[in-house]
Amino acid sequence: MIGTYKVRKKIERHILGKSGAIARTLRGNLPFFEVWRNSLIDVTRSHGLGDVLIATPSLRELKRLNPRTYIRFYTKYPSLVKGLPYIDEVLTMDECPPDAIRLLCEDSLPTNFHLSQIMGDCLGIELQNTIPDCIVREDFLNHFRKKWGNDFAIVVSISTSGCAPNKEWPISYWNELLDRISQKVRVILVGDNKDNEKISSQYVDDLRGKTTLEELVAIIASGDLYIGPMSGPYHIAAGTHRPSMVILSGYEDPKNACYPGSLVFYNKLPCSPCWLNNNCPHSKLCLTSISVDSVEKKILEFISQNKSAFKNDDYLNKNRILNVI
């Protein structure tokens, strides 16, 4: 019996990870009875900032397919999405009914598809456009753009939420990179300061742990370039149409969560993608093999090509290629 269960779960995970008609049917979306056809839909995605934003493409497509449906979305971060035209009501997780549709992707890993496409399967949706949306407070945006002035501003996040330690580039690498580039352009460091990681460069504006979520979004949206690991701020950058450079570990594949317009530093090893949440047996070779020199070179190339008046709010829509190096 146990063996049969394991085989069945392995088959299910294989099918769900494919994303497509069979996966959507397995999630309960029978043809002509898909979830997106309902007149009222309660839907939720828990976990972190990135998870919430990865869910937005499915909700956008749901409203396009069925403009008359009323969408209620439950989240821990309502300010990220409250005001998006295709979500009729944004509520907190405390208000989430037990029968709300949960946009799951964990039961599909590993997968060669974007996680937003897996979430789309939960609603019976075949998703093509995976770029997320994010609400930005205009007053905060104008404040930070005025603060940066004519400076070329690079926004940097060095850590993830902590649930995936194998996604983080070594702090010594970050220190060396920031020390080099902060003497050439304005560098704003964002995120939380849970680990009290010491950044040595005196030229960095260290705002870790000093901003609200709304301010964090506006800072990222006001910058000329975002650099960081695969984490919530990267998805905010995509949702606010900012160009990004992502230092991606072997934890996941670029297909899983990256967006057009991003430059991705990625070293694919035989063990990747691993989706491993405990200690890496290979000392995170996928990350340590990405050199500071290679990242700095691409940053300086980007600056030289875009330094004059780069505040372009439609960057991702004009740059549809995902560059992986």
| Span 92-99, average pLDDT | 95
| Span 58-74, average pLDDT | 97
Vertex 111 angle, CA 267 and 25, to 5°: 165
Give me the pLDDT at residue 14, please: 58
Name the pLDDT band for 307 (thresholds 50, 70, 90). low
| Span 144-156, average pLDDT | 94
pLDDT at 153 over 70: yes
What tokens were used for 309? Answer: 């008046």
Give me the pLDDT at residue 29, please: 87
Cα 91 to Cα 44, 52, 81: the distances in Å are 9, 13, 10
Give me the pLDDT at residue 2, please: 47
- Rounded distance between C-alpha atoms, residue 125 and residue 104, angstroms: 13
Name the pLDDT band for 47 (thresholds 50, 70, 90). confident
Give me the pLDDT at residue 5, please: 40
> Over the stretch 196-239, which tens digit does the pLDDT of each residue have?
677 888 889 999 999 999 999 999 999 999 999 999 999 999 99
CA dihedral 257, 263, 268, 274 (to 10 degrees): -20
Name every residue whose Cβ is closer than 8 Å to that of residue 235 and which is 6 or more positions away in sequence.
49, 50, 53, 54, 132, 134, 257
| Span 107-134, average pLDDT | 92
Q: Percentage of the chain with pLDDT > 90?
A: 68
What tokens were used for 317? Answer: 């829509």
Nearest-10 crossing angle of helices 213-222, 138-148? 50
CB 284 within 8 A of CB 290: no
In DSSP terms, which residues pair with 323 in a beta bridge? 263
| Mean per-residue pLDDT of the chain | 88
- Rounded distance between C-alpha atoms, residue 25 and residue 123, angstroms: 10
Ordered DSSP codes for 205-273: EE-TTSS-HHHHHHHHHHSSEEEESSSHHHHHHHHTT--EEEEE-TTS-HHHH--TTEEEEE---TT-S
**Length of the chain as a residue count:** 325
Query: What are residue 89's phi and psi, to 5 degrees?
Result: -150, 130
Residue type, 319: N
Decide yes or no: CATH 3.40.50.2000 for domain 138-324: yes
Q: In what order do the strands lie in the sheet with 244-248?
A: 204-206, 186-190, 153-157, 225-228, 244-248, 262-266, 323-324
Name every residue whose Cβ is closer than 8 Å to that of residue 321 and which is 6 or more positions away in sequence.
260, 261
pLDDT at 321 over 60: no
CB 66 within 8 A of CB 37: yes
Name every residue whose Cβ is closer than 8 Å to that of residue 50 and which is 6 or more positions away in sequence.
230, 231, 232, 234, 235, 257
CB 119 within 8 A of CB 58: yes
Helix, strand, coil shares, percent, the chain, to 5: 40, 15, 45
pLDDT at 319 over 60: no
| Span 304-319, average pLDDT | 60
| Span 129-135, average pLDDT | 96
Any idea where the domains of the chain sit in the sequence?
Answer: 2-122, 138-324
Residue type, 117: Q
* pTM to 2 decimal places: 0.90
Q: Which contacts (CB < 8 Å, 24+ apart) does range 9-15 have? A: 12/107, 13/107, 13/108, 13/109
pLDDT at 81 over 70: yes
**How many CB atoms are located within 10 Å of the residue 72 CB?**
18
